[in-house]
């Protein structure tokens, strides 16, 4: 991370700084129900009480409800350093809901770190608004930088009332991610790249992504093992093993720092991180 972007409070983000995990936690505010793409590992059935994985939540909150929830939490505990929006859909699919939430939080709690996760499709259009709303950290999920690989990962991409499939869809997403990440870094935002490792699809492509992430000046790479979810195109693909993930991260670490403590949290997760998997 560049020295110019780092303030002391930034070191309290438990996802970007593992040493903060023992002392600091986060809250995910599930205000973003819809998504503008379809990944072949996601079934979009987010209403789930028990599943412990990204993209699930008990409820969807309005921006006002989300801010009230945060107020109650901050009244009860003093170890929350980050408010994040991570779904259960894409937070930039309907940017108004996300930006309204972020602006309201930033007005009341200007020292709280603000974090957003996105697939990047609407990032070029939203990067400046995110920075102006006080967002300090953004995660972009980049599963491929080559459309020939991406076309196997995304069933479709929807933008400006148009639906794209195949290579065209992947080309569009890759181009938007590239443009959006460059804009974020220009605005001094700390950027994490998430990459879902899908055996037989992109597992030989991860160091290419890591190399590109370093060129983007992303700050950290988080390689996540595929979670085979029922009713998805990739339901039959076994998750990569822990030793495969170790090898992949070791190779990717030649290019930029690796996150190894991700808990693959729900879209309504609250508190400190509790690591669960590879």
Q: Which stretch binds ligand SF4 (CB under 6 A): 82-90, 128-136, 160-168, 237-245?
A: 82-90
CA neighbours within 13 Å on the CB side: how many for 101? 30
Give the per-residue contact string, 188-207, with ligand SF4 (x = CB under 6 A; - = no).
--------------------
User: Site residues for ligand SF4, window 30-49 (CB under 6 A)?
Assistant: 35, 37-39, 42, 44
Answer whether 127's CB lies under 8 Å from 69's CB.
Answer: no
Give the per-residue contact string, 202-241, with ligand SF4 (x = CB under 6 A; - = no).
----------------------------------------
Q: Name the residue with tokens 């729900």.
A: 266
Question: How far is CA 217 from each of CA 9, 28, 98, rounded to the nearest angstrom?
Answer: 21, 26, 25
Phi-psi region of 196 (alpha: psi -120 to 50; beta: other; left: phi over 0): beta
Q: How far is the CB of 116 from ligand SF4 (least distance, A)?
A: 11
Distance CA 234, CA 230 (A): 8
Nearer to ligand SF4, 20 or 99 (CB): 20
Distance CA 105, CA 27 (A): 12
* Options 12, 81, 98, 119; binder of ligand SF4; rule CB under 6 A: 119
Q: Which residues bind ligand SF4 (CB under 6 A)?
A: 15, 26, 35, 37-39, 42, 44, 54-55, 87, 89-90, 119, 262-265, 273
């Amino acid at each position: 991370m560049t020295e110019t972007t780092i303030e002391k409070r930034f070191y309290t983000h438990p996802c970007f700084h593992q040493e903060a995990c023992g002392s600091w936690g986060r809250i995910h505010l599930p205000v973003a129900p819809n998504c503008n793409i379809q990944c072949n590992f996601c079934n979009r059935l987010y209403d789930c009480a028990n599943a412990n994985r990204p993209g699930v939540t008990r409820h969807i909150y309005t921006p006002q409800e989300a801010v009230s929830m945060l107020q109650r939490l901050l009244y009860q505990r003093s170890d929350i350093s980050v408010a994040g929006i991570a779904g259960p859909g894409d937070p930039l699919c309907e940017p108004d809901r996300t930006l309204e939430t972020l602006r309201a939080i930033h007005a009341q709690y200007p020292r709280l770190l603000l974090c957003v996760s996105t697939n990047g499709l609407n990032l070029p259009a939203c990067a400046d608004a995110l920075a102006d709303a006080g967002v300090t950290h953004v995660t972009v999920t980049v599963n491929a930088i080559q459309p020939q690989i991406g076309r196997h990962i995304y069933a479709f991409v929807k933008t400006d009332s148009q639906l794209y499939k195949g290579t065209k869809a992947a080309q569009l997403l890759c181009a938007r991610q590239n443009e959006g990440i460059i804009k974020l870094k220009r605005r001094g935002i700390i950027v994490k790249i998430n990459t879902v490792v899908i055996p037989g699809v992109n597992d030989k492509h991860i160091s290419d992504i890591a190399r590109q992430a370093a060129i983007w000046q992303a700050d950290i790479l988080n390689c996540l093992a595929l979670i085979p979810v029922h009713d998805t195109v990739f339901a039959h693909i076994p998750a990569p093993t822990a030793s495969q993930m170790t090898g992949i991260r070791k190779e990717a670490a030649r290019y930029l720092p690796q996150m190894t403590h991700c808990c693959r949290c729900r879209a309504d997760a609250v508190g400190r991180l509790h690591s669960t998997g590879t």
